[in-house]
Structure 1
Amino acid sequence: MSSADEFYDDLEIRDPQQREDELMAALSAQMTHAKANAPHYGEVFADLDPASINSRDALAALPTTRKSDLAALQKKNPPLGGINTVPLSELSHIFASPGGLYEPDAPRKDYWRYARALWAAGVRPGNIVHNTFSYHLTPAAMLVESGCRAIGCPVVPGGVGNTEIQIQLMADLKPDFFIGTPSFLRIVLTKAKELGHDLSNLKNGLVGAEALPPSLRQELSDLGVSVLQGYGTADLGNVAYESKAIEGMIIDEGVIVEIVEPLGTKPVAIGEVGEVVVTTLNPTYPLVRFATGDLSAILPGTSPCGRTNMRIRGWMGRADQSTKFKGMFVHPSGIMQIAGRHPEIVKARMVITSQDNNDFMTLKFAAPGADPSLVKAVEDSIQTVLKLRGSAELVEADSLPDDGLAIEDARSYE
């Protein structure tokens, strides 16, 4: 395969230092643009020289913005909180997401920057793509459809549900590529087999919006479809994506990603789990240090696929699962720190329960082949890391849900 066919463009294979220099120059220009044209940033950065924000250290000194902040801003200055740099009349869509949030897009090629992720997953001009993300109110389906159009692919707008109708469409139209959640793809493939429909044309997919455990990826492969993951949000568009190497997720070329202390602002060290914070270079809706609430970690080095941008481990749960136990906060990062002290652990979940008005904390963990003595060692780590007493329980991996939760508060408050 030629490099021209393997990569979406030459931006993906830039020298890392060249990329960093160009990103920082673009950041400074974006800050100048945002301050001048977005009312919110004109106010927030009134005393800031935007040209001085030309390094990661300078960026890290700025405040973060959270979804809760967006909601408040949009109520104060509807509908987009003063973050948009163009009037509403120049937008293509205004989407409505759960929680009363609104997101724009503009008439610009691949506004959400998903073509790169689709290309890495195998989409090429002329492929027929079946899109099962929602077309109703939210931007989910349009995020990826805009990327398909940029590549040059017809899209079947399947939307959500209507499984048997979608199977019939796939049997008739013979799409090459699937877009949607991995769980819905499994439903489609197993139901099609049950109904006797031939979906053998469907070879590849880009999945997201939920966890993709290795067992499900393998099951989908056994059913004939190879899938890669994309990671994005309605606010930001594409943030990162897998390549065929399946070694972490490669950062998109149109964003600057930091991993910071969960629910904080300070960047953490390479390899340390933290919250994903993203600054976009989107001129229409320039989010600066948008805290996603998602947990991940930076992987050292670059992908063996040849793309040279920074990589993250992928979605590792949520940062905002903190809870109080005996008057002290327990954070997901603490659970991950405990697990990180024991390489045998492949999955862990802290479960907090109550009985007779007493609270109990149990770390359920999976460590295939581990010696039972590991339980005591994990309990010692709970005491060391959390400064709280808790029990540990060795369990089978499949008994722990793949929902990204590090903490399950199962206490009853009735």
Structure 2
Amino acid sequence: MIYNEVETAPRSELRELQDERLQETVETAYEEVPFYRELLEERGITPDEFRGVEDITDLPFTTKEDFRDTYPDGMFAVDHDEVRRIHASSGTTGKPKIVAYTDDDLDVWKEVVARCLAAGGVEPGDTVQNAYGYGLFTGGQGLHQGIEELGATVIPIGGGQTQRQIELLQDLESDVIACTPSYALYLDETAEEMGIDLEELPLSTVMFGAEPCTDPMREAIEERLGVNGIDIYGLSEIIGPGVSNECHEVQDGLHIFEDHFYPEVVDPSTGEPLPEGEEGELVLTTLSKDALPVLRYRTGDLTTLNYEECDCGRTMVRMDNVTGRADDLLIVRGANVYPSEIEDVVLEFEGVEPQYRIDLYQEDNLDRIEITVELAEGFTGDADALHDEILERLKNVLVFTPDELDLVEYGSIERTEVGKVKRVYDHR
């Protein structure tokens, strides 16, 4: 279902809208945010000479460090009496990133989330169980308001309470559950322990986000829960959930709502723009934020952009599923590797679960990498032979050989009921 006709607008019309809104955003940032005014003046940029998208690479980047350096409200473009809501990042790596919303910002937010839900196949009247955390995290409240805007019914259970989640899926016959991909798999494991087969429930869709999900993990979710897995993307610094979403008709990338968020892909090392289709770091500029306009935010997420019109009818650019982050890059014995590369290999094999961990150590000034993989439930095959097959495949894909590969019994690797799953433990 197309929620807003702008999703199918000719790209020439979309560019005109982007130019207009980007000029307004730069003007607001220059006049109302001292942080941006200083950066723009250093580059000799004034709002009256800025032409729009064609000049976007002249603008400075914004980073997560900028949010922390201006904590708590140095990025705000409005007075506090105009702010209607404040959210924040988890702050697990330092000061949290504080984000603010005016009434108009909240209207935009709920509308783009409604677009996401509609693109994912959710319809008015459906029941959506929202298992994202409420509170300062943008996921729970962001999804909640979009569900209501669409005209669907929301069950605001939030994160955790896994047995209760499953009981509500069963008793209220929820059509959709919104959660992280790792939690979707945890739900299936818990349901099995409770003697409940999720495939027999009315549940038809999992809207997953907030952490990377590789294709093998998606396939596991869809197969085990008997659902359609739909990827939703967003981040607090830009708006929260609602930046982009897969369409259920095609599921070939996530449509970015370019009338509100302008995307670029740049080289993670140099910051230089990359050609269409080449993988790099996603950079986003807000086009309609009042309280917190953000110029060229370096998300850290690795993806590609595809500007071809989708078979679903949407003309807005599609970003590939995010499977890693620029700052997730591991350097092991001088070689670069992303955790997603290891996950892709491990999950090629049917005899293992989509549960693994990577441990990094340093011994005598040399890096060691140990990979632990969980065997599938009820595995009865030859574990030694499977070990050798996985290790050989890893050796062929990576530029080094893992120092140790352990296959452990089902259930050995710690699960999480809330938050994002941790896969990498760097002990160096």
TM-score interval, normalised by the smaller of the two chains: 0.7 to 0.9
Report whether the alignment pairs 1:72 with 2:69.
yes
* C-alpha displacement of 1:63: 1.6
Aligned partner of 1:299 among 287, 300, 306: 306
Q: Which range moves more in the overlay, 29-38 or 194-203?
A: 194-203
**Residue of structure 1 equivalent to 2:374:** none
Any conservation in 1 of the 2:39–2:60 contact (CA below 8 Å)? no
In the alignment, residue 94 of structure 1 is paired with which amino acid?
I
Q: Indicate the residue corresponding to 2:215 in structure 1.
A: 214
TM-score of the superposition, structure 1-length normalised?
0.77
How far the C-alpha of 1:96 sits from its partner, in A, is: 3.0
For structure 2, the 5+ residue unaligned runs are 342-347, 350-356, 372-388, 407-412, 414-419
Displacement of 1:84: 2.0
Q: Tell me, what secondary structure is at the counterpart of 1:258?
A: strand
Pairing partner for 1:258 from 264, 269, 286: 264
Matched, 1:233 2:240: no
Contact 1:240 1:249 in 2 (8 A): yes
Following TM superposition, by how much is the alpha carbon of 1:21 offset from its aligned partner in structure 2, in angstroms?
2.6
1:280 aligns with 2:275: no
The answer to whether the 8 A contact 2:97-2:237 is kept is no
Question: Does 2:81 align with 1:89?
Answer: yes
| In structure 2, distance between residues paired with 1:392 and 1:183 | 24
Q: 1:45 aligns with which of 40, 47, 50?
A: 40
Deviation of residue 169 (structure 1)?
2.6
Superposition pairs for residues 163-242 of structure 1, below 5 Å?
A: 163-192=162-191, 194-196=194-196, 200-222=201-223, 223-236=225-238, 237=240, 238-242=242-246
Structure 2 residue 97 is the aligned partner of structure 1 residue 101 = yes
Instruction: Quickly say closer, same or farther: Cα 1:73–1:213, change in 2 above 3 A.
Output: same
Counterparts of 2:152 and 2:215, CA distance in 1: 29
Q: Does the C-alpha gap of structure 1 residues 226 and 359 become closer, same or farther in structure 2, counting only changes over 3 Å?
A: closer
Q: Is the 8 A contact 1:167 1:197 kept in 2?
A: no
Q: TM-score, normalised by structure 2?
A: 0.75
Distance in 2 separating the partners of 1:155 and 1:51: 45
Match in the other structure for 2:138: 139
| Identical aligned residues as a percent | 27
SS of residue matched to 1:115: helix
Provide Cα deviations, 1:61-87, integer angstroms capped at 9, x if missing partner. 22211111110011xxxx222x22222
Q: What secondary structure, in the 3-state scheme, does the structure 2 residue paired with 1:202 have?
A: coil
CA shift, 1:116, in A, is 1.2
Give, in angstroms, the shift of residue 189 of structure 1. 4.2
Which residue number in structure 1 is paired with residue 6 of structure 2? 11
Residue 301 of structure 1 aligns to a residue in which SS? coil
CA distance change for structure 1 residues 362 and 164 in 2, over 3 Å: closer, same or farther? closer
Taking a change above 3 Å as real, the CA distance of residues 375 and 130 of structure 1, as seen in their structure-2 partners, is closer
Q: Secondary structure at the match of 2:229?
A: strand
One-letter amino acid of the structure 2 residue matched with residue 243 of structure 1:
C
Residues in 2 aligned to 1:404 and 1:187: alpha-carbon distance in whole angstroms: 11
Considering Cα pairs closer than 8 Å and 6+ residues apart, tell me whether 1 or 2 has the greater RCO. Answer: 2
Identify the residue that residue 122 of structure 1 maps to in structure 2. Answer: 121
* Other-structure match for 2:385: none
- Is contact 2:178-2:206 (8 Å) kept? yes
SS where residue 124 of structure 2 aligns?
coil
| CA offset digits 1:318-358 (Å, max 9, x no partner) | 112456667x6x5559x98xxxxxxxx99xx9997644334
Q: CA RMSD in A?
A: 4.3
Question: Structure 1 residues 375, 321: closer, same or farther in 2, change over 3 A?
Answer: closer
Are positions 1:249 and 2:254 aligned together?
yes
Residue range with higher mean Cα deviation, 137-146 or 184-193: 184-193
1:355-370 equivalences in 2 (<5 Å): 355-359=363-367
- Structure 1 unaligned regions, length at least 5: 1-5, 337-344, 364-368, 383-389
Aligned length: 382
Note closer, same or farther for the CA distance 1:177–1:321 as it changes in structure 2 (3 Å cut). closer
Question: In the alignment, which residue of structure 1 is the partner of 2:354?
Answer: none
